């Protein structure tokens, strides 16, 4: 399978301090890739570098099979949808107007707007100003912006932020369905590891800017899963994750 | 760039930008236009309007441009717009669209002020002949100095990420402009945001005994206008860099 995102030794330093260190991601086409790591691990920074929002201090990014540079960046991103940290929106505009801005800049038909509004269940609220939206509604609007134009690649940074349990389940179902229904690949980051386990098929674990492990979720569970001694059930992703970052911490201490 | 302009137009929905610009120009110029009570006042109506309006502009426009610049940028700060926009458009096209919207509103302000010359003359029966080139010169100078103020304050809005700083600086410049009217001419060259007064090409002489004010038309100070253009270009560069350096 081809990789839709490939980075080589991607590095970011802020004022000399490395926050992403030599990360070589490989996100296979048609997969849902879960990018997990504790607070401050470098998930958002890595995603921003993939989108060219932050300039890398070293390394390279290949998106959709092409080396990304200043010239082809916007053309590549035209086939990409993203939601980084909190959604971007204009409070004085309605949901529909916010989407029209993105449609205009992406060169997407306005009929697409109605479709994505239905996908995120905002079609009843489309004429309301966004400043009156709840956090979860804004998050849905952010997803709708990312989905406009049926992108081949979605980069979603903690898309379940602010959603209620029902909303989280819908988001999970939506993300899981995207490879089949839209032929899209999804790179998604989250803290909710127990959630992630339910809908990703690849994982990348990052801590202190280092990619500790990446590969199919099934292999992670097979390699590192084992059994939890007390309850005799197999380890959850959360437990594997905590093991991995603790090992890393011990190595660093030695 | 077309898409960027159209996107900017959607963002301007229900903000009444052009109406506000027209009102700013109209009200400023109408406040500057004295209603003549005596014949000698009618005979110098346009000259008096020129002098008064240049001072009014120096006082009102720094604040008006601060409001214009921060209104244009504040929506991006509040909604963290750049994080999304910079994946869809180049920073150049975002800056270009903002700059163009600001300049168009500035043109509307200048046109509204120019219209007051025609209006005041008719309403109050000025007997002085209207010198169209002088009105156009004043409009041109107001446009250039406003563009300088707009870009400098836009740079400040983008860099500071708040509305407070550009508005405070605009207000401070407005207040300082009042004093420039009483400064020796050479000193006013140090206050480019208040170039309206030395650029007006009209000097006022007040005779204490007769209590009559006389006006002396001067040659157009092309050199000073060139200096204002240079300051405007500097402001443009600063604002452009501020948008380029915008962290997301
Ligand atoms: N503009 C910046 N200047 C300096 N340091 C930064 C900047 N942005 C991020 N960092 C640092 O980089 C590190 C990684 O941040 P990042 O936002 O990528 O983490 P994250 O994995 O997304 O965390 P979270 O789960 O909390 O969102 C953090 O230590 C953060 O303090
Ligand atoms: Mg983050």
Ligand 1 atom 4, closest CA: A14
Put simply, the answer to whether B88 touches A91 (Cβ < 8 Å) is no
| Chain A environment of B6 (Cβ under 8 Å) | 104
Predicted local confidence at residue B35, as pLDDT: 87
Substitution site in A44, A55, A188, A208 for ligand 1 pocket (most atoms within 8 Å of beta carbon): A44
Residues 6+ apart with CB under 8 A from B37: none
Q: Over 70: is that where the pLDDT of A4 sits?
A: yes
Q: Over 90: is that where the pLDDT of A240 sits?
A: no
Put simply, the answer to whether A100 touches B90 (Cβ < 8 Å) is no
Q: Over 60: is that where the pLDDT of A233 sits?
A: yes
Put simply, the answer to whether B87 touches A77 (Cβ < 8 Å) is yes
Query: In ligand 1, which atom is closest to the CA atom of A47?
Result: 18
Put simply, the answer to whether A88 touches B90 (Cβ < 8 Å) is no
Put simply, the answer to whether A77 touches B88 (Cβ < 8 Å) is yes
Q: Which residue has the tokens 């707009």?
A: B150
Q: What is the DSSP string of B59-110?
A: HHHHHHHHHHHHHHHHHHHHTTHHHHHHHHS-HHHHHHHHHHHHHHHHHHHH
Q: Over 90: is that where the pLDDT of A30 sits?
A: yes
Predicted local confidence at residue A227, as pLDDT: 58
B217 sits in which H/E element: strand B212-217
Q: Are A133 and B32 in contact (CB under 8 A)?
A: no
Q: What is the interface pTM, i.e. ipTM, of the complex? A: 0.92
A239 sits in which H/E element: helix A237-253
Q: In Å, how far is B81's CA from the nearest CA of chain A? A: 5
Domain ranges of chain B: 2-244
Confidence band, pLDDT 50/70/90 cuts, at residue A194: confident
- Which residue of chain B comes nearest to A51, CA vs CA? B87
pLDDT in tens, B157-180: 999 999 999 999 999 999 999 888
Predicted local confidence at residue A254, as pLDDT: 67
Nearest CB partner across the interface for B83, out of A88, A92, A100: A88
pLDDT in tens, A79-132: 999 999 999 999 999 999 999 999 999 999 999 999 999 999 999 999 999 999
Substitution site in A35, A41, A190, A208 for ligand 1 pocket (most atoms within 8 Å of beta carbon): A41
Q: Are A54 and A208 in contact (CB under 8 A)?
A: no
Query: Would the pTM count as exceeding 0.80?
Result: yes
Predicted local confidence at residue B16, as pLDDT: 96
**Cα–Cα distance measured from residue A95 to residue B75, given in angstroms and rounded to the nearest whole number:** 15
Q: Are A35 and A46 in contact (CB under 8 A)?
A: yes
**Cα–Cα distance measured from residue B103 to residue A144, given in angstroms and rounded to the nearest whole number:** 33
The segments of chain B whose pLDDT lies below 50 read: none
Q: How many CB atoms lie within 10 A of CB B31?
A: 13
Q: In Å, how far is B4's CA from the nearest CA of chain A? A: 7
Q: Are A141 and A132 in contact (CB under 8 A)?
A: no
Ligand 1 atom 6, closest CA: A14
Ligand 1 atom 22, closest CA: A44
pLDDT in tens, A135-190: 999 999 999 999 999 999 999 999 998 888 888 898 899 999 999 988 999 999 98
Using a 6 Å CB cutoff, which residues line ligand 1? Answer: A 14, 19, 37, 39-45; B 247
Predicted local confidence at residue A243, as pLDDT: 83
Nearest CA to B246 out of B9, B7, B99, B73 is that of B73
- Which residue of chain A comes nearest to B7, CA vs CA? A101
Put simply, the answer to whether B13 touches A93 (Cβ < 8 Å) is yes
In chain A, what percentage of residues exceed pLDDT 90?
A: 74
Average pLDDT over chain A reads: 92
- Which residue of chain A comes nearest to B13, CA vs CA? A93
Predicted local confidence at residue A232, as pLDDT: 57
Query: In ligand 1, which atom is closest to the CA atom of A54?
Result: 1
Cα of B5 from ligand 1 centre, angstroms = 33
Can you read off the two tokens belonging to residue B77? 């700060």
Substitution site in A12, A23, A42 for ligand 1 pocket (most atoms within 8 Å of beta carbon): A42
| Chain B environment of A100 (Cβ under 8 Å) | 10
Chain B residues 186-225 with CB within 8 Å of chain A: none
Half-sphere exposure at residue B59, Cβ-oriented, CA atoms within 13 angstroms: 15
Across A5-9, A244-248, B52-56, B136-140, least confident range: A244-248
Would you report the helix, strand and coil content of chain A in percent, each value rounded to 5? 40, 25, 35
Can you read off the two tokens belonging to residue A48? 């921003």
Q: Over 70: is that where the pLDDT of A1 sits?
A: no
Q: Over 90: is that where the pLDDT of A246 sits?
A: no
Q: Over 90: is that where the pLDDT of A247 sits?
A: no
Q: Over 60: is that where the pLDDT of A229 sits?
A: no
């Amino acid at each position: 399978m081809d990789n839709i995102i490939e980075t080589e030794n991607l590095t970011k330093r802020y004022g000399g301090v490395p926050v992403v260190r030599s990360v070589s991601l490989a996100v296979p086409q048609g997969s849902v890739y879960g990018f997990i790591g504790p607070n401050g691990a470098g998930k958002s920074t890595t995603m921003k570098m993939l989108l060219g929002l932050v300039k890398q201090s070293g390394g390279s990014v290949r998106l959709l099979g092409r080396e990304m540079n200043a010239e082809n960046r916007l053309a590549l991103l035209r086939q990409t949808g993203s939601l980084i940290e909190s959604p971007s929106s204009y409070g004085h505009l309605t949901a529909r107007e916010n989407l029209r801005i993105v449609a205009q800049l992406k060169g997407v038909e306005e009929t697409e707007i109605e479709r994505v509004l239905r996908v995120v269940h905002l079609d009843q609220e489309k004429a309301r100003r966004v400043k009156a939206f709840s956090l979860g509604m804004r998050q849905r609007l952010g997803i709708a912006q990312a989905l406009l134009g049926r992108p081949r690649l979605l980069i979603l940074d903690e898309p379940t932020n602010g959603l209620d349990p029902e909303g989280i389940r819908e988001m999970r179902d939506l993300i899981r369905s995207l490879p089949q229904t839209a032929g899209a690949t999804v790179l998604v980051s989250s803290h909710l590891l127990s959630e992630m386990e339910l809908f990703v098929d690849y994982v990348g674990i990052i801590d202190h800017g280092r990619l500790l492990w990446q590969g199919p979720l099934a292999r992670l569970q097979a390699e590192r899963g084992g059994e939890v001694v007390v309850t005799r059930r197999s380890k959850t992703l959360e437990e594997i994750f905590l093991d991995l970052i603790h090992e890393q911490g011990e190595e660093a201490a030695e | 760039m077309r898409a960027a302009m159209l996107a900017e137009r959607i963002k301007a929905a229900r903000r009444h930008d052009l109406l506000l610009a027209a009102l700013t120009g109209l009200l400023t110029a109408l406040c500057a236009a004295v209603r003549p009570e005596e014949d000698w006042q009618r005979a110098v109506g346009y000259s008096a309007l020129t002098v008064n309006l240049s001072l009014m502009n120096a006082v009102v426009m720094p604040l008006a441009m601060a409001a214009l610049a921060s209104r244009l940028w504040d929506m991006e700060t509040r909604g963290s717009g750049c994080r999304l926009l910079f994946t869809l458009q180049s920073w150049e096209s975002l800056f270009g669209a903002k700059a163009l919207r600001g300049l168009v509103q500035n043109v509307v302000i200048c046109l509204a002020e120019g219209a007051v010359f025609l209006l005041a003359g008719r309403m109050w029966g000025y007997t002085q002949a209207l010198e169209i080139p002088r009105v156009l010169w004043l409009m041109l100078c107001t446009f250039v100095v406003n563009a300088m103020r707009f870009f400098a304050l836009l740079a400040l809005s983008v860099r500071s990420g708040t509305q407070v700083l550009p508005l405070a600086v605009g207000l401070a410049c407005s207040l300082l402009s009042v004093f420039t009217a009483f400064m020796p001419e050479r000193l006013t060259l140090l206050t480019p945001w208040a170039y309206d007064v030395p650029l007006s090409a009209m000097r006022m002489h007040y005779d204490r005994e007769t209590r009559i004010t006389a006006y002396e038309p001067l040659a157009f100070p092309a050199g000073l206008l060139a200096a204002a253009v240079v300051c405007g270009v500097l402001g443009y560069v600063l604002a452009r860099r501020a948008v380029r350096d915008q962290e997301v």
